[in-house]
């Protein structure tokens, strides 16, 4: 007799929606930042550094916002 497995509920609930929407925003921001940093790079290693910066773009954004607000 075959075992019945429970399917994971992929419906929108209080935990699932926030995770999915923040992942999409981070992903779009990553792609945009990677395109910007790599397109402005003047050499190979600058492009590699730009890719690394694209991974951590939220930290740069938070730093600049706090600096602008004088915190």
Taking residues 18-43, report their average pLDDT. 83
Is there a domain that residue 12 lies in? no
Looking at the structure of the chain, the number of domains it has is: 1
Residue 35 CB-half CA count within 13 A:
5
Question: Cα–Cα distance between 56 and 52 in angstroms, integer?
Answer: 7
Query: Are the C-beta atoms of residues 33 and 58 closer than 8 Å to each other?
Result: no
Residue holding tokens 């779009």?
28
Q: What percent of the chain has pLDDT over 70?
A: 70
Query: Are the C-beta atoms of residues 53 and 41 closer than 8 Å to each other?
Result: no
Phi, psi at 56, each rounded to 5°: -110, 30
What band does 15 get if pLDDT is binned at 50, 70 and 90? low
Is there a domain that residue 46 lies in? yes
Q: What percent of the chain has pLDDT over 90?
A: 30
Is there a domain that residue 13 lies in? no
Residue-number span of the structural domain to which 64 is assigned: 22-69
Tokens of 48: 């590699």
Is there a domain that residue 17 lies in? no
């Amino acid at each position: 007799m075959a075992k019945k497995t429970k399917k994971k509920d992929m419906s929108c609930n209080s935990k699932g929606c926030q995770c999915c929407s923040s992942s999409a925003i981070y992903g779009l921001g990553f792609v945009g930042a990677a395109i910007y940093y790599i397109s402005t790079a003047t050499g190979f290693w600058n492009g590699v550094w730009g890719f690394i910066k694209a991974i951590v773009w939220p930290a740069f954004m938070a730093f600049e916002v706090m600096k602008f607000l004088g915190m």
